[in-house]
Structure 1
Amino acid sequence: MSLRTLVVVGAWSMSVAVAAAAPVQETVHFMSRDGATRLTGYVFRPGTPGPHPAVVMLHGRSGAYSAAARGTYSAQTLSLRHKMWGGFWAERGYLALHVDSFGPRGHPHGFPRHSYNDRPAEVSEQIVRPLDAYGALDYLRGRPDVAGDRVGLQGWSNGGMAVLAVLSPGSETANPVRATGFRAAVAFYPSCRVQERQGGYLPNAPLLILIAGEDDEVSAAVCHRFAAEARARGARIEHALYEGAHHAFDDPGKARQAHAPNRAASEDSKRRAEQFFAQHLRN
């Protein structure tokens, strides 16, 4: 696969209605590796016996819940995107765990656009949220229905930035093996500026980055340059740029999917993510 894949139309389809309606099957609690925060997670299970490969999911800056939650933050008010993806993975034989990083720290409603520099350090995607990801990994490895050496990581926007941090050489597990680290990760429309500025990025697991060409929150050009330079150093990075698509192109809401490039990007990104995790988590 070439480093920079331009995708304009998609030809792969799935029943979004079925996946979006998939119910959360468990609400669970576990400790972040920060040693102080009891996190909330939402589990989507396959309908077949385990142990299953698993996917840890990290939300973006708007948090885990629907904008219509109105003070009720629970499995019922998870955003449609997170329910859709949880169902998507469960239907394909993965146990999916969506992690709420903001709610347990007093920010369940998330943060508005362009508020990055005003957010509290306690929700840092570079320092704190990677510890949440590893806390989720620890929790999953204690479940008998999870294949503990076959766990992947998926994040959106700010959660995608956390994915890059988790896989960075200086992360909690700099040189993971099958028994200690994530096997692979997918980052949807992250900002890549932090890791680009740090230089020398070599992810400790295979990484797929999916970017919107018309993103008005993060720079597609920066992520492409970042991925190209890392790949030249031997990084295991795949990258796709969706021309004409906007930030949050995979949001299943009608307004977002009314834009044809978003629909195409959403469909193709599911295909790529499924193939990527099948390659790295099924073996």
Structure 2
Amino acid sequence: MFEDRIDAGRQLAARLAERRGGDLVVLGLPRGGVPVAAEVALALDAPLDVIVVRKLGVPYQPELAMGAIGEDGVRVLNRRVLDHARVSDEELRMVELRERAVLDARVERLRRGRPALDLGGTTALIVDDGIATGSTARAACQVARHLGAARVVLAVPVAPADAIGGFPEADEVICLRTPANFAAVGYHYRDFSPTSDDEVVALLDAAARRHARTRTPRHGDFDGDVEVPLGDTALRGHLHLPDPAAAVVVFAHGSGSSRHSTRNRYVASVLNDAGLGTLLMDLLTPEEELHRTNVFDIGLLATRLEAATDWLRGRPDTASSRIGYFGASTGAAAALWAAADGAEDAGPDAEAPVSAVVSRGGRPDLAGPRLAGVRSPTLLIVGGADHVVLELNREAQARLRCENGLAIVRGATHLFEEPGTLAEAAMLARDWFVRHLLGGETGAVAG
């Protein structure tokens, strides 16, 4: 069972992770499919749009589809059904006229003047919160193809097996769960609250702003994949720099997938909106990540973090940037370890080598005795329902001698998967970094 549509979207995004990049366009079926699609688009760094369709039902049997219509006058007809049901041209015209009025009104409410994305030559990834009979999804796939999509993929969290078996309208169907006792889509969500038109518009607006920012950076901005040299190998990362790059936050995660983490990328987008540069990098190579002990080798992770910091300081566009660390899981301990190492090397009277550290759901306790050597202002963000980690963070905070804070996000568990909790953590991190890296005003930090 899915917690809500956001949870379903994140799980679906994880299944689709390898499809990131290229000519992909994510299309949500309004209204309930759009929150799911928004999570998929965010994770895959793809543009998001809605695909508004209306089924054309046989006049005396409306549940039987004789065709479908979409935007831009698109009409798809099922000639077999039309002939079998003996639907006249006038009857077809009247049904289409009625359904076109409904479709146009919905498009106006949801788009509010925003043009539809061009699907010509793209892979259209159509997403809904689930399908029961599949008639609307079939119509959406047909309409997407008539709008020029080169390939059509349908992706849903849940559906009955017979509804997705034999689906010629799509080139591929992806479904996370096909329960034997399906009943209805809503039965497979703990929270299946209705999605409003305003929520759909807000999600589309946010996605449009994000995509415009990543696809059309300002003059002088840098946004791209990078490699940090490390002896005979290199660490892969993704660097976003505003112009000028006054500050850069380096993300540290214990696993080797930091740059692909949907949570890290979401937090990075919040920091980017505030004018901060970000470096999302993998502290372990793919081969190293296969050995679980490396994830808990804090000294190794800290060394990699220091190498990334040195690399930034060697770039002309970041040589004078203030540096911050954002750590999650064991990466939080690595961030504090690296900050303490740098502080010791710089001497007691020198400025701290990194200007701020933030831990989200981290294990700062694993930095051990080095905690007392950290001089960088440090914020520990922990979920209120993450009881064991919260206590470990309290113990770690007691060992810090620098400016510090403990922010507790109510209701959040370890991964901040609950609605709104990751956004709250991201805003707390943003405020801390803006204050200490850019010298801006911030809100209060919970203690």
TM-score by length of 2: 0.45
Counterpart secondary structure, 1:143: coil
After superposition, what is the alpha-carbon deviation per residue over 1:221-273, rounded to whole angstroms, capped at 9, x for unaligned?
Answer: 1211321x225xx4321111223211121xxxxxx3xx34xx1x323322221
Q: Give the structure, 1 or 2, with the largest relative contact order (CA under 8 Å, sep 6 or more).
A: 1
Distance in 1 of aligned mates of 2:286 and 2:344: 26
Q: In angstroms, what is the RMSD of aligned CA positions?
A: 3.1
Distance in 1 of aligned mates of 2:403 and 2:321: 19
Between Structure 1 and Structure 2, the one with more helix by share is 2
CA apart distance, 1:147 = 5.4
Hey, what does 1:166 align to over in structure 2?
A: 338
Distance in 1 of aligned mates of 2:240 and 2:210: 12
After superposition, what is the alpha-carbon deviation per residue over 1:80-126, rounded to whole angstroms, capped at 9, x for unaligned?
Answer: 22322232222221221111122x2515xx57xxxxxx7234x5441
Hey, what does 2:28 align to over in structure 1?
A: none
C-alpha spacing 1:209/1:281, structure 2 compared with 1 (3 Å): same
Hey, what does 2:409 align to over in structure 1?
A: 242
Hey, what does 2:227 align to over in structure 1?
A: 29
One of 10, 35, 41 as aligned partner of 2:237: 41
Hey, what does 1:92 align to over in structure 2?
A: 274
Structure 1 residue runs of 4 or more that deviate by more than 3 Å after TM superposition: 13-24, 175-178
C-alpha spacing 1:167/1:199, structure 2 compared with 1 (3 Å): closer
Aligned AA for 1:248? L
Question: Does the CA contact (< 8 Å) of 1:156 and 1:190 recur in 2?
Answer: yes
Q: 5+ residue gaps in structure 2? A: 1-201, 216-222, 440-447
One of 223, 226, 234 as aligned partner of 2:393: 223
Distance in 2 of aligned mates of 1:156 and 1:144: 28
One of 88, 111, 119 as aligned partner of 2:292: 119
Q: Say whether 1:209 aligns with 2:380.
A: yes
After superposition, what is the alpha-carbon deviation per residue over 1:1-43, rounded to whole angstroms, capped at 9, x for unaligned?
Answer: xxxxxxxxxxxx99864687564921111224xx454111111
Q: Say whether 1:61 aligns with 2:255.
A: yes
Counterpart secondary structure, 1:128: helix
Hey, what does 1:101 align to over in structure 2?
A: 283
Distance in 2 of aligned mates of 1:84 and 1:153: 16
C-alpha spacing 1:183/1:200, structure 2 compared with 1 (3 Å): closer
Counterpart secondary structure, 2:226: strand
Q: Say whether 1:279 aligns with 2:435.
A: yes
Question: Does the CA contact (< 8 Å) of 1:44 and 1:87 recur in 2?
Answer: no
Larger Rg: 2
TM-score by length of 1: 0.68
After superposition, what is the alpha-carbon deviation per residue over 1:22-72, rounded to whole angstroms, capped at 9, x for unaligned?
Answer: 64921111224xx454111111233xx31331111112437226xxxxxxx
Aligned AA for 1:230? R
CA apart distance, 1:146 = 2.2
Question: Does the CA contact (< 8 Å) of 1:183 and 1:281 recur in 2?
Answer: yes
Q: 5+ residue gaps in structure 1? A: 1-12, 66-77, 112-117, 250-255
- Identity between Structure 1 and Structure 2 (%): 22
After superposition, what is the alpha-carbon deviation per residue over 1:146-186, rounded to whole angstroms, capped at 9, x for unaligned?
Answer: 25351111111121221222233xx25425445x7211110
Aligned AA for 2:355? R
Question: Does the CA contact (< 8 Å) of 1:215 and 1:247 recur in 2?
Answer: yes
CA apart distance, 1:206 = 0.8
Question: Does the CA contact (< 8 Å) of 2:246 and 2:438 recur in 1?
Answer: no
Aligned AA for 1:80? T
CA apart distance, 1:144 = 2.7
Aligned AA for 1:88? V
Aligned AA for 1:276? W
Aligned AA for 2:302? P
Distance in 2 of aligned mates of 1:93 and 1:244: 29
Question: Does the CA contact (< 8 Å) of 1:55 and 1:97 recur in 2?
Answer: yes
Counterpart secondary structure, 1:182: coil
Question: Does the CA contact (< 8 Å) of 1:174 and 1:204 recur in 2?
Answer: no
Question: Does the CA contact (< 8 Å) of 1:125 and 1:159 recur in 2?
Answer: no
